Every structure is written in structure tokens, then in C-alpha cells.
Structure 1
Amino acid sequence: MRTKDLKQVYDYYRQVYCKEKTDVISIIIVISKYGEIYEYSELDITFHPQIIKTKEINKQEDLKIIRDKFRNNHKLTSMECTLLSTFPLFDIGESESQIIEEVCTNIKNKKHCIPKEEMEQIVRGMYLNILEYIDPEKQETLMEMISVEDIKQRGDFAKIRKAKRENIEKRAKKEIIDSLLKNYPLKTVSEMINIPISEIRSIVNSKPEY
């Protein structure tokens, strides 16, 4: 993160603190491989935001469950379908390219394991993963495997890409809240992250869209 970006975060943090006169927790979510986060100093104040890195959220157990379902020809749940195209964001103990190629292979050969109503969202997510993580010479092959052209003809992928980026933060926020709720009461979590209880409940129960 650039210094000027971190300064913007600090300026907002300071404004909220001065207005509310209470402790403020500042959380920066680092998506996948992006961004080194540095501290920011102004006069005699050093700003240390709380850093949440999605790559430090372990999803290896979820990956194992989904692999077993594909192996045994069982249907995936809606949440498992969502995870298929978000695995590269998390700690899965394998390279992003390896898991993307595996998912594309399963989309091609194990269509019966994926509910029809979930397939288009998965393909959209995988399309963006291919562009982000796969070497250019391999991209076309993987896109053909998951029939990207069929989806392209029915939608605006520029809008899909923008929506995907916006939704990544929502998914990461949900992961953070889920993690906090395992250790703290709902009211305490609400106070810690300055989000109303009603909104936290909505986030926890939400299903990310692409």
C-alpha cells in the first residue's frame, strides 16, 4: 500500500476518533498476493492499522471436502460452489494456478456435481481467476474447458470484473466476522468493528454474488 493511500486511511480514522471520542479499530483487508502494508507516522503519532490478509485464512479443510465430493460424484452445496472460485484468495497449501486448473477440469468433467443454477457464477469467477493467475499461453485452453465464450455472449464481462472486485471485500469481511464471532459475543464484535448488530447478522447470513 502506498504511503498516500495509508494516509487517507489514517485521515479517516482520525476524523472518526475526533467525532466519536472513542477508540476506533482500523482494519485493512489485503486481498491475496497484493500489497505490503507499512505503518504511517505523522508528527509524534504512529498509525498501526489492523491487517487482515486473506492468504492467512486457511481453507484447506473446505478444499478437501469439495475434492471428496467431486471424487464421489456428490452434489456441491451453494456455499461450496461459491468457494470454488474464491480458493485462490485463501491459504490452501497449493499454488493458485494449480487449484484453478483443477477446478476447470472438474467443471468440464464433473458438471453433474455442480447445480445448474450455480454454474454461470462459477464460470464468471473462474474467468477472472484465469486472467489474474494463469500464464497467458495457458489461458485460452482453460477458458475453453469451462465454456467461457457461452457466458461472454450473454453478459458484460467488464461489469462482471468490477462487481467481482467489489465483492471480494464483502467476502473477506464475512470471513473476518465469522472468525471474530467464534471468540466474542455478537455485541462485542459489533463494538470492535463499528458495524451495527443488524448489519453483522445480514453479512453472516449473506451469500456473495459475482
Structure 2
Amino acid sequence: MAESTSKLTNFKILVFNVYRTLMPLLSRYPSAKWSCADILKEFESVEKEIQIVQLDLLYTDVLAKAHEVLEKHLDNLYGKPIPDISDVYVVFSNSIKNWFIFSDSSEALHNLAKYYKLVVLSNVDHTSFAHTHAKLSTGDPSAVSSPLYACPEPNPNDYWFSQKTEGSQSSFSLILMVQDVHSYKPALPGFLTALDIIQKDLLDTSTLKDMKEKVLSSTEFVS
């Protein structure tokens, strides 16, 4: 077998998604036959459909709508009356600030940042990500948003270059949310926007030309 020529040391930029959404919805339906894997698959399907149809929704609103759609689907399957529990959707949509980070995530990111420029390209919104950003930057699982880890308002830069905030411990050179790229992944425009910004502001070279061509020719992305 030929040895692969692709090595991590060949790269200068690492791009992270950061989140994988978990759904605690099944606990409300003890008779449901869905496994956790089933509901995660269904959630991702519903979430993607909402993101395609309602592109301007912030991710918190996407979460709330996806929770509502899935709960009604489970109700239709298992006969549970649909109560007026819209507040549950809101609670779920605002729960990102409480989502945990893995114990080694912060240290690992800071170690990687010694050798690479780290970029976030996520479907989450700025307000929600600020809480996760604080956790990942400080290593404190109870950390919450602060001016050090929130997107500056007003922002002196075109985009959120988090390490430019004085006193920040962020390991990320660039943070891009849906509000910045105006596209939910896996749609292509967000990736192209990220590559343009990386080339212009982080590398200032033409080294991303081949990457762009690969992204444009990939069959994994949808418009």
C-alpha cells in the first residue's frame, strides 16, 4: 500500500465545526421505540430542512423549530396529546450556553494553536457561541459569555478575529457564524467565504487556490 502524502504538518489552517447537537427529547416519550441514534438522525434531517427553507433564522430559532417539529411527529406516532409547551422550545433553543465541552478540548486547542491558525465555521449564532468560546478559551466548564469572548459590538474589523481582543485567551484566529457567511452548512457559500477570508486576512497568499477548486468540485456540498 502506498504511503499517504497527506500529513497534518502539511497544513497551516485547521477549520472546526465545534458542535454536534444532542436531543434530550425522548425522555418525554417513554413508549417511543426510537433509539438515541434514531432521534439524532431525525433531528439532523429536520434541522437541515429548516435551514434550507428559512435561511435567515438564527440557530437558536432553528433549534426551537426543530424541537417543535420532532415533538409533534412523536406525538402523532405515539398518541400523546400536544400540550401548549412553547416555553420548552425556547428553553431548548437557549440551552447552548449550558452545553458541556470535553475535558481535554481547551488544552488540545491551545496546543494546536501553537502550530496552526484555528478557524471556527459553525451554524450557531454569535450570541450562543460566545458562551462556548469562553469555555474553550479558559478551560472552565462553567464559564459564560463576557466581552473577552463575544463578538465585538461595534466590531472594528470586518469579521471576528478573536485573538485581537486584548486579554483574550482564545485559541481561534477567526470565528465565522451564519450571520457572517449568510449560509448554513453544508451549503457551499459559507465554505467559499471562509476560504476567501482566510486567504485575505490569515495567509495573504494564493495557497488556497487548490483548496477552492476541490471545494467547488466536491459532491458533498449542496447549493
TM (normalized to structure 1)?
Answer: 0.30
Higher helix share: 1
TM (normalized to structure 2)?
Answer: 0.29
